[in-house]
């Protein structure tokens, strides 16, 4: 056959559209190529179904009573499951052909064959056929039975009307197609080629020679290809191959295409559905790996793999097999893809510790890149945490969502708070769910902000968020584009290969220092306040359990460290730190599950605390009573509420006890609280106050206002509960701005553009309305002694009200605001403001293992895009010599604008959870004016104290007769954050200690311990010994050196018990 000569008359538009019609699934399918994709078809032999509200395991489901069903039947409602038994017989006439089961239904489906999952099917994810055979052999069995498990929810949940609306509980689902069909693979290949040629023609445009070459090639293919005559296809294929075989030059950009499937661990669907999403998505990826040896699939989140290991062991074994071949690549290193802002430093370490240990155990190696493509900002401490966990590379793309400023890099070094650096890459296509189109490939090259500095990019393809993953068509497209003139080179590649390529040519890369702040989703610091509170509390509970259990281990021969229980509880906490859970951007079902996880952690944690306390009390003489525990590594002088018989409480005062109260325990002959052990010891005394302040404490009330004074600070509240004055008594410095009022509640309209639970927009600031109280509600609460307080009520709106107790304790440098709110609002945002008599262009906010500064002004677009920011336990506004710190026990949203410190308290978003934050809330914040710097004034320790109250644990047996201290640190700049048993602990007697430098300074210090230490050695965050890290023990002390914000971990091996 002679080559077709194309006349030179071609018109761009008609030629392009001619080709489009030739591949169109909508037009001319009676005569075009698309219409020939499938050949003969026949119905399945029999279809029956079984409907259940449960998510049953396969073995149980197939035992149930299946009833005859038909295509077109509807089933549901939302979150139910319909199991279909599909009996089929392939016609004998189809020998030699490729045969598919074509299955189209609403919901997400999983095909089972012989008791194993074999293929996920979803219309939304462009997966509607299961390949029964590539080529039916003459002797092959032609009859078989399959099961199709259809989950009654879409890839992205079941939102009523829009994706993020609360789920519609009554949605019904339908199977619209269930039949066998012959698949024409040669037609499919030509369709892929024609679509790519169209993409090149359109993407390169009429200014490009190559564009016309692509278009004319496509046109020629249409000319030679007769859809009804398969013998014409090879000539068409030749034309395409000739075009795609024309190579690019040496300088071509290289795209590393990696299959991916982002699965939100819970979001618009519950955790349990995610387990099935993983199976559906990954079994599909396994099929692709089987059929395409060059296809590589990157998969993150150890928790999801652990679910699959438990529920689908056969699939897990296949994943391990493909991991050995290098096709299945575990990435990320963390337990889940956690939020990058809210989790504590220690919790972030545990994400990696739990994750990396799982990856090592199941796949033989730890991950070398951190993977957080879809998270709402990235803490400045992450680079150090990554480096400590064996990770040098980081990938995300979320900063492309910035609303105001476009981030200046796609490939760069990210330098953290302590100076640690990681090579960071944002796929320049700004997505983790590409489909392999030419448009995306060209965008990846065009948008790359580091042109000239680097010549490699990542390209993550596959349906994501709700799972789904890549399709064979995507793989086929990318394979075809491996090296074609006019386009970048496309390799099916792994993140490892990408990063080695980037690393080997990194000499010209720029560096970004500090946090990667997302200029969007800033409401997630506040939404779902109970989840935030659960997070903060449970971080504290696990800290305390680990410390106390470690001390019990050191003190008691018989104590068994609850390693397995702690691992379970940590994993629950880490699970809740997923980027759509702790952020509050989930549906009501998920929020309820999250709250029950916190409840489990609290109740089991408290049991473990009691067990450890009992072990600490055993074997020592002394009366039964309370064990008072300070879980912080410094002396504390605090008022403590002590339980009394009958459920009542009385106030006790822990005076400064000489030198041994750090990390210490003491006992007391409770319940009378009269016999305190002699000093020096941390102990509990009856409610009495030091002589010098007793006279000042009783709240003075005149003209409806109340003054609280403990000799350190003097607080004056006007009749509606606002602060007119906050004075440092010794210096007479006033902390509240002249003529202004502190503790001012303010209400804002809070209607974002779309992402309701996620976003608070800049314009909410224009709707500020102070909440005005009514005079006369302010009353004296506690009348003095060791504590003085005042109470008031505030009607926030017709539906919402607030009550507050303003509390000042003897010896305490801060005043606490214990707050209860009954909140019933829609699209309102409640904050509390403190205008300070302080002027500074920057404010300081606590972050993981440290703090950072952000501007208090809106000079540049980068400054004003940070109108709502996050902080952990404290924020501070200081000028030279004086400052005001605002502490909190469970809040994360904050801002300082000018001299006004503002804490974000409650939001009222309605999607995806219409009930979010409605109801009762309790929280405490505190205000601490100080002289000097916040470091020297002890703001950091005060915030710890607020968050880690002294424990008063019932001692079931005799409590230790004398107080003792396990650890203390010689420098106030260094915090001993964590004491736990090592994950790998021969004889169970190795502890891990984690300390960090909190002031931002170079420090040499001594860690003193009273524990019987045999050996001390530095280790990394994964608890691996530093070969050069041996630490000599001198007089029960270890010398440690820190640079600013450095985190150090050490392994302490305790001496064997004496008996
Ligand atoms: Zn996500």
pLDDT band at residue 629 using 50, 70 and 90 as cut-offs? confident
Q: Which of 382, 381, 296, 380 has its CA nearest to residue 333?
A: 382
d(CA 353, CA 579): 18
The structure tokens listed for 767 are 């709707």
Nearest 5°: the CA angle 668, 602, 561 is 70
Confidence of residue 659 (pLDDT cuts 50, 70, 90): very low
User: Is 876 one of the annotated active-site residues of the chain?
Assistant: no
Nearest to 948 by CA among 452, 515, 464, 542: 542
| End-to-end Cα distance, the chain | 95
CA of 297 to the centre of ligand 1 (A): 18
Q: From ligand 1's centre to the CA of 578, what distance in Å?
A: 9
- Read off the pLDDT of each residue in 302-317 and give the average, rounded to a whole number: 98
Cβ(871)–Cβ(841) below 8 Å? no
Kind of pairing, strands 511-513 and 411-415?
A: parallel
Backbone angles phi, psi at 233, to 5 degrees: -65, -40
% of the chain surpassing 90 pLDDT: 86
Are the C-beta atoms of residues 428 and 399 closer than 8 Å to each other? no
Model confidence at 782, pLDDT cuts 50, 70, 90, reads confident
Distance 465 CA to ligand 1 centre (A): 5
pLDDT at 663: 40
CA of 265 to the centre of ligand 1 (A): 8
Predicted confidence (pLDDT) at residue 930 exceeds the cutoff of 90: yes
**pLDDT tens readout for residues 311-367:** 999 999 999 999 999 999 999 999 999 999 999 999 999 999 999 999 999 999 999
Please enumerate in sequence order all residues whose Cβ is within 8 A of that of 802, keeping only pairs 6 or more positions apart, or say none: 745, 793, 794, 796, 819, 820, 821, 822
Under the banding of pLDDT at 50, 70 and 90, the label for residue 637 is: confident
Q: Which residue in 193, 374, 418, 544 is the catalytic one?
A: 374
394 sits in which H/E element = strand 393-395
- Please tell me whether residue 49 adopts helix, strand or coil conformation: strand
Question: Which phi and psi angles does 409 have, rounded to 5°?
Answer: -135, 155
- Mind giving me the DSSP string for 812-834? -SSEEEEEEEEE--SSEEEEEEE
Q: How close is the Cα of 178 to the center of ligand 1, in Å?
A: 32
Residue 269, both tokens:
């669907």
Distance 263 CA to ligand 1 centre (A): 7
Separation of 375 CA from ligand 1 center, angstroms?
7
Token pair for 615: 């072990």
Nearest to 448 by CA among 504, 393, 405, 406: 406
pLDDT in tens, 364-376: 999 999 999 999 9
CA quadruple 465, 332, 544, 903: dihedral, nearest 10: -50
pLDDT in tens, 888-920: 999 999 999 999 999 999 999 999 999 999 999
| 560's tokens | 């068994």
Do β-strands 638-643 and 919-931 pair in parallel, antiparallel, or remain unpaired? unpaired
pTM for the predicted model, two decimal places: 0.95
Q: Which helix (H) or strand (E) holds 761?
A: none
The Cα–Cα gap between 944 and 969 comes to: 15
Residue 845: per-residue pLDDT? 98
Instruction: Please state, in angstroms and rounded to a whole number, the distance separating the CA atoms of residues 531 and 932.
Output: 35
Other CB atoms within a 10 A radius of the CB of residue 703 amount to 7
Burial category of 517 from C-beta neighbours within 10 Å (exposed 0-12, middle 13-18, buried 19 and up): buried
Tokens representing 1051 are 């392994």
| Contacts of residue 54, Cβ cutoff 8 Å, sequence gap at least 6 | 81
Q: What is the pLDDT of residues 556-604, one digit of tens each?
A: 888 999 999 999 999 999 999 999 999 999 999 999 999 999 999 999 9
CA 395 to ligand 1 centroid distance, Å:
14
Pairwise pLDDT comparison (437 vs 555), residue with the higher score: 437
Split at pLDDT 50, 70, 90, the class of 640 is: confident
What is the separation of C-alpha 889 from the centre of its chain, rounded to a whole number of angstroms? 20
Which of 52, 47, 155 is closest to 106 using CA atoms? Answer: 155
Looking at residue 792, what is its pLDDT?
96
Tell the residue number behind the tokens 């605090």, with chain if given.
638
pLDDT digits (tens, 9 = 90+) for 345-356: 999 999 999 999
Gyration radius (Cα) of the chain, Å: 33
CA dist., res. 687 & res. 641, Å (int): 10
Q: Cα(343) to centroid of ligand 1, in Å?
A: 16
Confidence of residue 656 (pLDDT cuts 50, 70, 90): very low
Distance 118 CA to ligand 1 centre (A): 25
Two tokens, residue 368? 């070398």
- The tens digit of pLDDT for each residue in 111-141 reads 999 999 999 999 999 999 999 999 999 999 9
Q: Which two tokens stand for residue 857?
A: 């002004």
> Per residue in 1018-1028, pLDDT tens?
999 999 999 99
Q: Does 680 have pLDDT greater than 60?
A: no
Q: What is the mean pLDDT of the chain?
A: 92
Distance from the alpha carbon of residue 603 to the mean position of ligand 1, in angstroms: 30
**DSSP bridge partners of 850:** 847
- Per-residue pLDDT, 764: 98
Please state, in angstroms and rounded to a whole number, the distance separating the CA atoms of residues 970 and 1041: 12
Instruction: Report DSSP letters for 405-464, one per residue.
Output: ---S-SEEEEE-TTS-EEEEE--TT--S-B---HHHHHHHHHS-TTBTTB-EEEEEESB-
pLDDT at 672 over 50: no
Q: What is the pLDDT of residue 693?
A: 41
What's the rounded Cα separation, in Å, for the pair 836 and 821? 25
pLDDT band at 959 (very low <50, low <70, confident <90, very high): low
């Amino acid at each position: 056959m002679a080559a077709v000569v194309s006349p030179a008359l071609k018109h761009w538009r008609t030629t392009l559209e001619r080709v489009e019609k030739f591949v169109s699934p909508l037009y001319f399918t009676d005569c075009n190529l698309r219409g020939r994709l499938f050949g003969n078809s026949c119905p399945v032999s029999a279809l029956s179904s079984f409907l259940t509200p449960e998510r049953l395991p396969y073995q149980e489901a197939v035992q149930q009573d299946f009833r005859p069903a038909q295509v077109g039947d509807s089933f549901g409602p939302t979150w139910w499951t319909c199991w279909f038994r599909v009996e089929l017989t392939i016609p004998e006439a189809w020998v030699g052909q490729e045969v598919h089961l074509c299955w189209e239904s609403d919901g997400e489906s999983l095909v089972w064959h012989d008791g194993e999952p074999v293929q996920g099917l979803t219309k939304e994810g462009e997966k509607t056929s299961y390949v029964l055979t590539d080529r039916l052999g003459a002797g092959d069995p032609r009859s078989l039975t399959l099961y199709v498990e259809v989950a009654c929810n879409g890839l992205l949940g079941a939102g009523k009307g829009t994706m993020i609306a609360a789920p519609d509980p009554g949605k019904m689902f339908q199977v619209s197609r269930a039949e066998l069909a012959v698949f024409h693979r040669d037609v499919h290949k030509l369709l892929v080629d024609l679509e790519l040629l169209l993409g090149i023609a359109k993407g390169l445009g009429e200014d490009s020679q190559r564009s016309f070459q692509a278009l004319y090639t496509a046109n020629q293919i249409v000319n030679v290809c007769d859809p009804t005559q398969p013998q014409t296809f090879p000539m068409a294929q030749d034309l395409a191959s000739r075009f795609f075989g024309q190579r690019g030059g040496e300088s071509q950009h290289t795209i590393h295409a990696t299959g991916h499937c982002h699965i939100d661990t819970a979001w618009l669907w519950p955790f349990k559905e995610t387990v099935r999403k993983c199976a559906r998505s990954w079994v599909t990826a396994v099929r692709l790996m089987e059929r395409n040896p060059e296809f590589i699939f990157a998969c993150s989140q150890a928790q999801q793999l652990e679910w699959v290991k438990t529920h689908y062991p056969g699939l897990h074994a296949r994943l391990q097999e493909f991991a050995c071949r290098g096709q299945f690549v575990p990435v990320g290193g963390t337990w889940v893809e956690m939020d990058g802002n809210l989790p504590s430093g220690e919790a972030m370490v545990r994400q990696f510790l739990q994750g990396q240990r799982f990856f090592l155990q199941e796949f033989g190696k730890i991950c070398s890149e951190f993977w957080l493509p879809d998270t709402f900002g990235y803490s400045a401490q992450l680079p150090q945490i990554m480096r400590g966990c064996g990770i040098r590379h980081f990938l995300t793309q979320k900063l492309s969502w910035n609303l105001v400023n476009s981030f200046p890099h796609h490939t760069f070094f990210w330098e953290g708070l302590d100076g640690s650096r990681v090579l960071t890459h944002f796929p320049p296509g700004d997505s983790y769910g590409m489909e392999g189109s030419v448009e995306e490939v060209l965008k990846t090259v065009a948008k790359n902000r580091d042109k000239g500095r680097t010549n490699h990019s990542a390209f993550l393809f596959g349906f994501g968020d709700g799972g789904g993953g890549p399709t064979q068509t995507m793989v086929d497209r990318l394979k075809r584009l491996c090296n074609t003139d006019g386009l970048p080179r496309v390799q099916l590649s792994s993140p490892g290969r990408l990063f080695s390529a980037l690393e080997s040519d990194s000499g010209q890369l720029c560096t970004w220092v500090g946090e990667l702040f997302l200029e969007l989703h800033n409401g997630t610091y506040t939404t779902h306040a109970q989840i935030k509170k659960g997070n903060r509390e449970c971080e504290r509970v696990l800290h305390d359990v680990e410390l106390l259990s470690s001390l019990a281990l050191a003190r008691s021969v018989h104590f068994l460290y609850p390693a397995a229980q702690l691992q379970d509880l940590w994993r629950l906490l880490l699970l809740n730190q997923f980027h759509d859970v702790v952020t509050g951007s989930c549906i009501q079902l998920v929020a309820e599950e999250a709250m029950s996880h916190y409840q489990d952690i609290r109740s089991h944690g408290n049991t473990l605390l009691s067990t450890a306390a009992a072990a600490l009390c055993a074997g020592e003489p002394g009366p039964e009573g309370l064990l008072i525990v300070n879980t912080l590594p410094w002396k504390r002088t605090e008022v403590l509420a002590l339980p009394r018989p009958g459920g009542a409480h009385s106030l006790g005062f822990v005076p400064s006890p000489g030198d041994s109260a750090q990390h210490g325990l003491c006992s007391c002959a409770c319940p009378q609280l009269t016999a305190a052990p002699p000093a020096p010891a941390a102990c509990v005394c009856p409610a009495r106050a030091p002589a010098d302040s007793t006279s000042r404490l009783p709240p003075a009330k005149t003209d409806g206002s109340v003054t609280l004074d403990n000799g350190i600070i003097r607080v004056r509240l006007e009749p509606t509960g606002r602060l007119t004055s906050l004075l440092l008594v010794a210096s007479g410095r006033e902390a509240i701005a002249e003529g202004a009022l502190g503790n001012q509640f303010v209400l804002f309209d809070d209607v974002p553009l779309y992402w309701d639970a996620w976003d608070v927009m800049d314009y909410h600031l224009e709707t500020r309305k102070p909440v005005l109280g009514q005079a006369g509600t302010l009353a004296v609460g506690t009348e003095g002694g060791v504590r003085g307080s005042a109470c008031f009520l505030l009607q926030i709106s017709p539906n919402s009200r607030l009550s507050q107790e303003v509390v000042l304790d003897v010896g305490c440098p801060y005043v606490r605001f214990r707050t209860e709110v009954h909140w019933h609002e829609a699209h309102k945002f409640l904050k509390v403001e403190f205008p300070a008599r302080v002027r500074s262009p920057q404010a300081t906010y606590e972050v993981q293992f440290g703090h950072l500064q952000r501007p208090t002004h809106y000079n540049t677009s980068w400054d004003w895009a940070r109108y709502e920011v996050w902080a952990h336990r404290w924020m501070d506004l200081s000028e030279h010599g004086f400052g005001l710190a605002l502490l909190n026990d469970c809040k994360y949203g904050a801002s300082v604008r000018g001299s006004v410190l503002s804490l974000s308290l409650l939001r009222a978003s309605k999607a995806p959870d219409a009930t979010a934050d409605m109801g009762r809330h309790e929280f405490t914040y505190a205000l601490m004016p100080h002289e000097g710097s916040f470091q020297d004034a002890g703001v950091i320790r005060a915030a710890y104290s607020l968050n880690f109250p002294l424990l008063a644990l019932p001692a079931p047996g005799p409590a230790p007769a004398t107080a003792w201290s396990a650890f203390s640190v010689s420098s106030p700049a260094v915090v001993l954050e964590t004491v736990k048993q090592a994950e790998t602990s021969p004889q169970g007697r190795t502890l891990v200690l984690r300390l960090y430098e909190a002031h931002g300074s170079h420090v040499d210090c001594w860690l003193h311990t009273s524990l019987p230490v045999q050996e001390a050695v530095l280790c990394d965050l994964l608890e691996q010994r530093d070969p050069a890290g041996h630490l000599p023990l001198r007089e029960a002390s270890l010398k440690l050196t820190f640079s600013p914000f450095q985190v150090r971990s050490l392994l302490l091996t305790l001496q064997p018990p004496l008996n």
